[in-house]
Amino acid sequence: MDVSSAGAIALGAPLAGSGWLALHGLSNESSHRRTLLAIDGRARIAQRFAIDWTRVAPDGQVFHGDPSKNANWSPYGADVLAVGDGRVVEVQDGIPENDPTSATRAVAITLTSVGGNYVILDLGRGRYAFYAHLQPGSLCVRRGDRVRRGQVLAKLGNSGQSDAPHLHLHIADAPSPLAAEGIPMVFDRLAIQGQVPSLTVLTDGTGWKPTAQIQAGFNEMPVENVVVAFPARRTAPSCAAK
């Protein structure tokens, strides 16, 4: 299958602060780049350039206490931000969240429920940002709303085809969770804090610590298991759930 020949779109930060781990990011092993789905008679890889963002706490762990409680996971409840100016073209809400310790999802997984609670932004020029697995009842926007870069859209959660709290983000060429073809993306500003050699250290008590000097990155696509910091928000978050 041909990869999009379009240049990578430069995005603002989807989240704020440090410790953001690019799970299933760009790599030969990423499950995202291999998820070929035939929908409406056409095979596409919407998630080809997707990243699942989770967060490493300052002690190097991703959860504390009882891991069955979503609120005990480091990324849970983080503000999810618009990566650019755009218009909300699709939203879904009301899907309950999963238990991170259970293999059974809160709802049956279908093409409708796979993304859980989500927002799709039209960024213009045939490029759409898909934000998945959001907290139910946390969406701040409705279909048709205009948003500005950095605006809070919702809160990070654990709904749909998700085994622990994280934000799934990808850019595609159609306003659909999966009936679209993925488009490459870069983030215009971030700081690279290091790379996690094994995900087991995040949950077995070992913890992860940066092993190299932090490096500034501009217009970069984080590869799999790289940890980055995004610029802190300059204004207090504001979100009235709709």
The answer to whether residue 212 sits within a structural domain is yes
- DSSP-based three-state secondary structure for 68: coil
Q: What is the pLDDT of residue 62?
A: 96
Compute CA 104 distance to the chain's CA centroid, rounded to the nearest angstrom.
Answer: 21
Asked if the structure places residue 4 within a domain, the reply is no
Residue 242 covered by a domain: no
| Structural domain for 93, as ranges | 9-230
Examine residue 162 and state whether it is found in any structural domain, yes or no: yes
CATH code at position 71: 2.70.70.10
Whether residue 235 is contained in a domain is answered as no
Q: Is residue 237 part of a domain?
A: no
The pLDDT value given to residue 89? 98
Distance, in Å, from the CA atom of 209 to the CA atom of 114, rounded to the nearest integer, reads 33
Q: What is the pLDDT of residue 237?
A: 58
CB 82 within 8 A of CB 54: no
Determine, yes or no, domain membership for 1.
no
Whole-number pLDDT of residue 234: 67
The number of domains in the chain is: 1
pLDDT given at position 35: 76
Q: How far is CA 58 from CA 21, 95, 153, 197, 202, in A?
A: 13, 31, 25, 17, 11
**What is this structure's pTM?**
0.92
Report pLDDT for 32.
67
- pLDDT score, position 207: 92
Phi, psi of 240 (to 5 degrees): -105, 105
Which ranges of the chain have pLDDT less than 50? none
240 within some domain: no
> What is the Rg, in whole angstroms, of the alpha carbon atoms belonging to the chain?
17
